[in-house]
Structure formats: C-alpha cells, structure tokens
A and B are shown apart, each in its own frame.
Chain A
Amino acid sequence: MTEAPLPAQAHPQAQSSALTGGQGRPRLRLATVWLAGCSGCHMSFLDLDEFLFELAEAVEIVYSPVASDTKIYPEQVDVCLVEGAVANVDNLELALTLRQRTALVISFGDCAISANVPGLRNLFSAPGRDSARTVLERGYLELADASGQLPHAPGVVPELLPRVLPLHEVIPVDLYLPGCPPSAERIRAAIAPLLLGQRPLMEGAAMLRFG
C-alpha cells in the first residue's frame, strides 16, 4: 500500500537500505529505547524466550534498558525499537538523537504509535492551560497536604511537554509495530526479516491489530 505522505511523517529518509549498511559489519547494531510507556513492550520483547539466543548471535545490542548498561545513545545504530510516547523533554531529546544516529526507527507498541495511555493526559488540555500543568497541579497540589509544591528541578527532573505526542509527530518513523503490547510472536515476525536485510510485511491481524 502506498503511504500518502502526511505531515506527521514527512520524509522517510532512512529506509531499510540502511540495513545493507549493517551488512558490512558482522552483526546488526540493535537498540531499544523506553520513552513514556509502561515497559510492557520490553517485557514482551523478553518473552521472545529462546529466540533471544538467536537474536543475541545475530545482533549487537548497543543500547537498551533491558539488555545494555550504556547510558549514551551510540552512533551508527542499524535498528531501534522505540517503546513509549514522547511526554517530556528527555523523551524528546532522546527521540531526536536516536533519529540522527539510527538507520531504521521502529515505533514499538501502541504508546509510540498513538500515545495511547500516556496520551490520556492530553484530554486535560484546556484553552490557555496545557495538560502538563493540569496533571501536575492535580497530583502535586490538589491531592497533596498543605506542603504540596510543583516539582521543579531543571536538568534533574525532566519537564513535561504541554502535550504527549506519538513518536512520528516528533521524528520520521520507518516502521510501525502495533500492539499493547505487541505479542512476542509479532515482535519476532517483525525482527526476523530485518536480520536478513528484508522489510517485514506488516499485514493482517497477526501483525497489525492495535490493543
């Protein structure tokens, strides 16, 4: 199906051709990133069970909350699975960084794709009042005792963005892997072709269904 270019996804600059770039190296450089999400997608990733052994042989995990201790997103990443929506300035910064350093970016799960549950705070936007302020006031002032105060620690506690955004509204995304979470089978079906330098066919209920 042809992808009519819409504003959210403007320039699919890094198609799977980047994977061929990975063929020059012995192993595919894979990253997984956890933005605003519940980590359920990563848990599902861990449910890959024995496929994880195959994966470990085929790829080098260069950045991941579950399989790497690297704190800085590295250069020259071939594939990155991004879980979660973009909800705060740290999410935004990491999203922009990973886009620059990654050939193929995958929106991994419903939160990355639609903002899903984290995005529910967008319901509390009102004219002249963004949803970040509403939820912070609710959480830190209205429900607090008399000593409540809004968190403010620049550089330490990341500021919330006014609105939670799906990943593709922030950076161009190359592949979408829906599900809340995507089942391990679906993750495997999406990743396995990538290891062969092929683009997975995202069709049918087994690969596409939300929720």
Chain B
Amino acid sequence: MVALPARERPQLRCCGASGCRHAGAGPLLAALRAAAAAGGPAADDMSAGASAALQPLEVRSVGCLRLCGEGPLLAWDGPEGTRLFGGLAPAAAAALVDQVRGVASLPLAADPALAGHQLDLEQPFFRLQRPLVLEGCGIVDPECIEAALAHGSYAQLRRVLHELSPEAVREQVRRSGLRGRGGGGYPTGLKWDTVALQPPGRRYVVCNADEGDPGAFMDRSVLEGDPHRLLEGMAIAAYAVGADHGYLYVRAEYPLAIERLRLALQQARQQGLLGQGIAGSSFNLDLEVRVGAGAYVCGEETALLHSIQGQRGTPRTRPPYPAQAGLWGAPTLINNVETFAAVPVILREGGDWYAAIGSGNSRGTKVFSLSGAIRHTGLVEVPMGTSLRTVVETMGGGDPDGGAVKAVQTGGPSGGCIPAALLDTPVDFESLLALGSMMGSGGMVVIGQGTAMPEVARHFMAFSVNESCGKCVPCRAGTVQLLALLDRCLERGATAADLEALEALCAMVKATSLCGLGQAAPNPVLSTLRHFRQEYSAAPGAGR
C-alpha cells in the first residue's frame, strides 16, 4: 500500500515503474540519491553522534504508487507517517531531502519547490483500495529479492512445500473462489484440478503476461513492481499441479517488466527458490521468460502456446483445452499474472478468508487501471462487487473538467461501453456480461461527453482488424467489412438498413469466429448500439 505506518528512520520511496519513469522518475531518483549522499554518510554508516542533518536517508526505487497521472510519484515515510508527492522535478530533490532531515529553512507548505505537489493520501482513491495482489507493490524494491523476502515473499511457497500436499493447496484455491483474472473468469481451482488430474506425465505451467488491451496496465504494474510475488504464486501453482517447467510469456512492449522479471528469476535461482530441490524440498521448477513479438492475439491461450513452441501465433480450436493438451501436447496450466499473484495471499490467509471478500460468484479483489476522461489516472485494487460509480466517480474523481462521465469502457476491444446511467452496476463477472461488456483484464477507459460512441466502436474495430491473426474468415474478413460499415455510419449517419446490416454481421462474427478475439470483436459495436443507438443515426458530427 502507499501509506505505511509511522517510522522513526525516514525513507523515500520513488516509483520506478514505467508510467513514472516516463514522467521523469529516473532523474528524480538520481537527484534524490545525490542529495541524500551530499547531506551525510551512506545509510549503513550511521555514527552514534550524527546530527539530524546527518541522519542516513534511504531512497528506494519501488513499484507503482497508484496515482500514475500525477507522476513521478514519491512517498516519504517518517515519524508522521507517509506523505505522497507528485510531479516533483529533480531540482526539488534537495529541498525535499532538507525537509526529510528537518533542516529546511521553510515549513513544507511554504517551500516553493514542494508546495502544491503534496497529494492527499486520505482521498477515496487511496482510502478505498484493498491491496492484496498489490500488497507489496510500491513498498518493495522490485530489483531486490532481499526486500521481497523481508516483505514475506516466498514464505508461502516454503510453507506449502513442507507442510501441504498439492491436493491441499488446490483445496485452498478452490475454496477461495478465485476466478481467472485475464478476463475469462474461469474458476482457477477447477483449472488447477483439471491439469493435476490428467494422466501421469510431464506438465507445464504458463503465465500469460501478454497484457494487450488498450488502457490496461495492471499486469505490467505487478511485473514491474513485485515480480517475486508472481514467481511465488506460479511456483505454488506448479507444485499444486505437478509441473516442473514453466514459461512467463511477456509482451515485448514491456521491456522494463522483462528486465525485472529476468533479474527476479536469477535472484530466485540463486536463493534456491527456483531450480532443483526448492527450499530444501524435493520439488523442482524451472521458469523461463518468453518474449512476444507484438501480436495481440498471442494473449489468447492457444496462440500463446503456439508462440512459445516457436510457431506462428495463431489460435486453434478447443477442445482439447490446454489443461488437457497444451505445450507440446502436455497438460498445461495457463493463468494470468494477476491470478498467480493472488495465490500467495490466499495460501497465507486461507481460501475462506479470501472468499469472504467480494460478491456473488466473484470473490476477492480485482485490480483496475483507470484512464481516459478521468481526474485520477492510475491503478486501483478494490473488492469485487464494488460499484462502477465508486471506482470511476468516487475514487477516480470523475471527469477532469467537471463534466459528467458519459460511459465507461471495460474489457478493451473485447468488452463494451457501459453508460453513465448504469454506473451503479457492481463490478463482477456476471453483471458486466449482462450489460454486454465484460470484466476483461481490468482496463477501464472513461469516456467523456465530447466523445461520439460510434467513434469509440470504430476505434476498437480498427484495433481488431489490425490484430486479427487471419486464420478464420469471420475475423479476418468480417472485421474489415464491419469497419467499412462503421466508416459509412460515421460519414453520413446510419440508415436503418445500415444498422441492421451491422447487427447481422456482428452476430455472425461473434458466433462463428474461431477464437475469443474474433468472437468478442463485435462487442464494442453491439454495446454501443445497445446503449447509444441514437448516436449512430445522428447526422455526421453530431454528438461530438
């Protein structure tokens, strides 16, 4: 979590994840470290008689501090608790370090370099979060396994290996009610059982880290901010299903995540937490990173498996499901990053504890990335069943210009748009499906009044045209024709016949495409037709 309990020895946590790096976290971190070093001895060289000014000051690079839109983010933990700053320039580093050391000439609020940069940690955006998956994200240094170990990482793996049978692990996951966080929502315990109960032989475990929905950056934050938690969850899963080899399939567009993941794997091997005889047990597990080559469809599990095997990344028909016949024909467990990352806390607190969070058939928490026409762009983790209004308006702060939110797009190109009138819908798998959208992996793009919904549909259809692998004809050629129809609607306003044609082809593509990408490609059109039909018929330019 972002706010930590008050602590005697101050420390600074600077977000080193992609968003804040892009906003200038690198130079800020360097300037902070320089200022900390200039003011006194190194952190580990504290002499008994050091003055306040010479207090050692630890400056840590950590994972996502959530409010990405205000980056670079910096947390200052001290005796007063945590203070959070956003958008500090490197030039402000010295002033901040002086404040931390208590040697500044001006009070914090009056310091021109810092005034206006402090962010309220009591605002709902932070207060309503329930960090489980993101427990260590923003606290631990993702490049330092000692930090992760100190924060409890791998404790559950050790315990599980020595105290629990694979069946007992699966029992906890089943009881937790955890469902796949990649968007499908398939019961995780059932999937693990399916793999585990296949005839004896080799099994694989695969992490789907090919997060590709526009506006989605939940998995990236876990990969960049707390990779050891993911590795621990994956190792527990491998133990539970009897796999001794696994792959993390990460999209190439996440270079920092790949770098940190590779480092984390190396560190875990050195610590005996991966490899042969893990943590003194007889359990062996090797994990490898596989980097995608820029195809969205490789987030589809069968395409992902082909890609890992070195083949063209195209999906195949299911059944057989990967749990029955996956990598090189062997039973293969594939879960999303967030799903694996939820496992350690489920083992630590128990499946029932986890199942007590959430609502209906959606248990536990879900991470969402908020972006678009919203005041607070960033990452939130909330209990399942929290209403969209709470997430978007209360936490997200609504439209940045004070206008009303028009709609929320969930599920990326596979999802749909939910109109503002339905914002009281609880965020769970079933409710979103019922509205013609879907949970998806957790990207939420907020749409303001100034955006025409057919344009939104067109945008996503163009995405699907571009990302279709081309294997089956409804997706390869149907999306092209859908895009042309949408173009026509936008050009001159849709006639009744246009809309009928649009719906007929949407139904065909949805029902007959080979994989989830094609089957879901019409969703942005269908959901906007359902909730914003009048905008399609409006004269060109109307609604913009």
Contacts and interface: CB of A to CB of B under 8 A. Distances in A.
Residues of A contacting B: mostly: loop
A7 B505 CA distance: 11
A7 B488 contact: yes
B34 interface: no
B497 A7 contact: yes
B498 A7 contact: yes
Contacts of B497: 5-7, 10-11
Interface in B474-503: 485, 488, 495, 497-498, 500-501
Contacts of B488: 7
13 contacts: A4-B500, A4-B501, A4-B504, A5-B501, A5-B504, A6-B501, A6-B504, A7-B485, A7-B488, A7-B495, A7-B498, A10-B495, A10-B497
A145 to B, nearest CB: 41
Contacts, number: 21
Nearest to B500: A5
A55 B500 CA distance: 40
A13 to B, nearest CB: 12
Interface string A6-28: 11001100000000000000000
A4 B504 CA distance: 7
A61 B457 CA distance: 50
A5 B498 CA distance: 9
Leading 3 A-B pairs by shortest Cβ distance: A10-B497, A6-B501, A4-B504
A4 B498 CA distance: 12
Nearest to A11: B497
B435 to A, nearest CB: 26
B498 to A, nearest CB: 5
Nearest to B505: A6
Contacts of A4: 500-501, 504
Given A5-B504, A7-B495, 13 more contacts: A4-B501, A4-B504, A5-B500, A5-B501, A6-B500, A6-B501, A6-B504, A7-B485, A7-B497, A7-B498, A7-B501, A10-B495, A10-B497
A4 B502 CA distance: 11
Query: By CB atoms of chain B within 10 A, which of A5, A7, A10 has the most?
Result: A7
Query: By CB atoms of chain A within 10 A, which of B485, B495, B501, B505 has the most?
Result: B501
A10 B485 CA distance: 14
A115 B31 CA distance: 68
A11 B501 CA distance: 12
A5 B497 CA distance: 7
Interface string B503-532: 011000000000000000000000000000
Interface in B60-93: none
A4 B481 CA distance: 15
A5 B485 CA distance: 13
Query: By CB atoms of chain A within 10 A, which of B485, B488, B497, B498 has the most?
Result: B497
Contacts of A10: 495, 497
Contacts of A7: 485, 488, 495, 497-498, 501
Contacts of B500: 4-6
A4 B500 CA distance: 8
A10 B498 CA distance: 8
Nearest to A9: B497
Nearest to B498: A7
A6 B485 CA distance: 10
